[in-house]
Structure 1
């Protein structure tokens, strides 16, 4: 009943998995980052003020996304390489001859993958979410001036009756929301009557005070400068801050807070709730990879089926990622309940992995 009868053996297998996972992840990120940079460098350098430093800025913000997305793949491939190596060198046979069961052989790999899952969750919260928010804001301004804050929302559109309001940047939360570079399209019967531009807008508690206003009257063709204008008594600050909530750009506490605000505003939140749960189930999927890829560790290497077993383990792992993406997409559109969308693939493939392991080895 002891899952770790040998500490030396456990550390040996854990080290093998970690080294191979890091090597596979580094190779994947390096190749994919180079291809991605080739595709985006033209758009980045199209801005006259952009140069080599902006390319490195893009790499700095893009690389964490690639690491987050392909870390479970790296654990899967690392597990298959580790298992195939142990099998090829007859180390699995030695461990089984020493009285270890299949689950005892896999235990060090599963514990190591749990450690990887914990690191992945912390990395996503601390690094990936802020980097994604900055990169998303930078892309919306066509790689122009880099937004200074990670919580900046860019190019936000809000409708107020027939009127349309566009804010190039929105910062702050609640009553402290600040709008910058504002354009207001005043329409009557779907026809444009005036165009108002403002440098900054702040919420006063019941309305919006715009400063540095330039108003152009379409009917008369005249332009008028005003120091300040009060508008939008029916406009709420959350209409700007919650206009475009992206789960990937928010940490777990921030997303949970945004969901609560959306519920208070009477907006649908099922898609965001699925993404909230997936922030836990996503990193935790790394713990499934040793179980799904373990089929490559068992069976006689000289039987000629080692490659077939490795391919089977890879197929099980990739099938999980396909099912996970499909389930999350169904949860985003509201076809699946949020908890089911996030956790159903994990539970299903855990049962599949256990079934394959027990049927073949135990």
Structure 2
């Protein structure tokens, strides 16, 4: 097996070298000013990463929404990955995961009375349209725009998974990075996500030193943890029964942590249904899941996946489906919140 592994590395190395060169050249053209980046007139805060996914951008965007939406007019702007539409779209009551993407749909279901949820592939165009439609909008939270170099956010938050930090990872196909490590120098703040409950001060200091080898001098480095909420349901009555067998259904980048969380609880996991990240569930998929389980089996999934499943479930079926909302806890929350608010104050945003 080792021989095959090394042969594959040799075969794939030219592809790796070409990809690295293309990304390096593209970043250099932006950094040198040959390709212009636009800094919008409205305050923009980006939540991004260097990897292909799985760093927890969605709950961190939601954290910012909770922090800011009571004081300011806020919009979120996402690409809308996996949607079957194009261009600028504002989420409304007719929106679905197919029209705006799963993460934006989740934002809309949670915060539709507080914020504008927008999708647009072109982030510059998206911000411009937001400001045209909502003259009182004060902040745009960019979901996953770290590689979208045509827009220059006022505050760039870089997320990196504790279990595979960007400085330990490699570009695809040898790793999960979609951008080179040196791009971390564009970060104004680095958040190490999915940290264990117990992490020593020495380990945090070691991580900071590794991060600072790639970033601007000693940028602020924060550590966040996932906080799983109660198992819940979209049914009129949450009838989850912990004594019954369950099936775990996921279509996320790194389902291991979610599965481990459920496995550590006193639950009877009978079956796992694993789909690719951002999988667009079809009726055939649902029939397959239900067909491979007995009628008493309860299906537990992630909140992001439930957003896609819900519109396709009948009233009786939805009683069998449950999901686990997640939030994040930021260590040294007071300092993090103060940093965000200081950026807002620097931009001289009037509060409501």
TM-score normalised to the size of structure 2?
0.21
Larger radius of gyration: 1
Higher relative contact order (CA 8 A, sep 6+): 2
Scaled by the length of structure 1, the TM-score of the pair is 0.21
Higher helix share: 1
